[in-house]
Amino acid sequence: MTPLAMTAVNPVMLDEPTIRISEIFGPTIQGEGALIGKPTVFLRTGGCDYRCSWCDTLHAVDSAHRHEWLPMTPQAIMMQIEVLTGGKPLTVSLSGGNPAIQPLACLIELGQKRGFDFALETQGSLAKDWFAELSVLTLSPKPPSSGMTTDWQRLAECVDAAGRKTRTVMKIVIFNDEDYAYARDVAGRHPNLPLYLQPGNHTPPPSRDDNASIDLDGIMSRMRWLIDKVTSDRWFEATVLPQLHTLIWGNLRGV
Ligand SMILES: C[S@@+](CC[C@H](N)C(=O)[O-])C[C@H]1O[C@@H](n2cnc3c(N)ncnc32)[C@H](O)[C@@H]1O
Ligand SMILES: Nc1nc2[nH]cc(C(=O)O)c2c(=O)[nH]1
Ligand code: SF4
Ligand SMILES: [Mg+2]
């Protein structure tokens, strides 16, 4: 590095790895899983190691959108979140893409100092030691309809990394009988973790159209089918929940 280039580097920035951000929005309500209905701000990171056939957030996955993902420091992110909340702390929901591929430890530490706590959603393909600093870790391993294959060892590593202090739950999207059997398999492998079943949205938005219409009747009939399965199987440990934000706002982005 030339002396000139060295002087151009801000020493504060050297301590703070940047995080690739697709969008920051809220406050809204958490629409899924363990914290459903709770006010939250979403921080959506850009980039994913998976390509689920029915992914509803392609704008944070498809590399065609890479130019929209901005590298941001933890300081800049917290400033933006505090503007959105009026400075009042709440639970920040970290999603993506796969947020586990981003360096989030510094952000979590900084946010906690300011009174915020952090929940994170990931498919469970990559374990990080900072999972232990989360208030809630939602692991959403992908069923056969996604076209992805679960690495069970990696999933177990995520559970272990979160440890006992973090509240860890499973959330599985269900489209069909095969997916349902997969969810039973996950429950058998992790019998002590709460498990949420979420009916799949079979009309997710194409990556460039966040206003694409949605088949609400179709989602509701999948919800009824799923409830019938769970109750007739006497699977009383499971919790069945829709994507509340999808029922309210359809495929609209940023809510
Ligand atoms: C968009 S993902 C981002 C976080 C992470 N990559 C993951 O999959 O867990 C957030 C949640 O949305 C769920 N999801 C994605 N597409 C969906 C769809 N078409 N219908 C229902 N849930 C969906 C995922 O399974 C996951 O639980
Ligand atoms: N309101 C709301 N709830 C959500 N829960 C999970 C979401 C996600 O896309 O990760 C999501 C989202 O995008 N909006
Ligand atoms: S893992 Fe999550 S973000 Fe990645 S493609 Fe699948 S649903 Fe989309
Ligand atoms: Mg979503």
- Please state the separation of Cα 122 from the chain's center in Å: 5
Rounded Cα–Cα distance for residues 107 and 78 (Å): 8
Whether omega before 205 lies within 30 degrees of 0, making that bond cis, reads no
Provide the mean pLDDT of the chain.
94
pLDDT band at 7 (very low <50, low <70, confident <90, very high): very low
CATH of the domain at 40: 3.20.20.70
Q: Is 199 annotated as a binding-site member?
A: no
pLDDT tens digits along 19-41: 999 999 999 999 999 999 999 99
Task: Output b/e per residue, 90-119; b: 16+ Cβ within 10 A.
Answer: bbbbbbbbbbbbbebebbbebbeeeebebb
Q: Give this complex's ipTM.
A: 0.99
pLDDT band at 112 (very low <50, low <70, confident <90, very high): very high
Determine the average pLDDT of the residues in 180-191: 98
- Within-domain flag for 139: yes
pLDDT band at 210 (very low <50, low <70, confident <90, very high): low
Residue 106 clears pLDDT 90, i.e. is over it: yes
Share of the chain above pLDDT 70, in %: 94
Residue 58 clears pLDDT 70, i.e. is over it: yes
- Is beta strand 19-29 parallel, antiparallel or unpaired with respect to 70-72? antiparallel
Ligand 1: residue whose CA is nearest its atom 1:
57
- Within-domain flag for 128: yes
Determine the average pLDDT of the residues in 109-122: 98
- Within-domain flag for 58: yes
Determine the average pLDDT of the residues in 138-161: 98
Helix, strand or coil, per DSSP, at residue 176: coil
Ligand 2: residue whose CA is nearest its atom 3:
31
pLDDT tens digits along 151-164: 999 999 999 999 99
Rounded Cα–Cα distance for residues 239 and 92 (Å): 23
- Report pLDDT for 22: 98
CA of 211 to the centre of ligand 4 (A): 13
- Report pLDDT for 14: 53
Hey, what are 143's tokens? 């069923």
Ligand 2: residue whose CA is nearest its atom 14:
255
CA of 124 to the centre of ligand 3 (A): 11
- Within-domain flag for 235: yes
Rg (CA), the chain: 19
Residue closest to 46 by CA, chosen among 116, 94, 2: 94
Nearest atom (ligand 2) to Cα of 30:
3
pLDDT band at 8 (very low <50, low <70, confident <90, very high): very low
Hey, what are 98's tokens? 């796969």
Enclosing domain of residue 108? 17-249
- Within-domain flag for 9: no
Residues contacting residue 108 through CB under 8 Å, at least 6 positions apart: 118, 130, 133, 134
Residue 5 clears pLDDT 50, i.e. is over it: no
CA of 31 to the centre of ligand 1 (A): 11
CA of 11 to the centre of ligand 4 (A): 36
Nearest ligand for residue 30 CA: 2
- Within-domain flag for 55: yes
- Within-domain flag for 254: no
How many domains does the chain fold into? 1
Residue 119 clears pLDDT 80, i.e. is over it: yes
- Within-domain flag for 135: yes
Ligand 3: residue whose CA is nearest its atom 1:
50
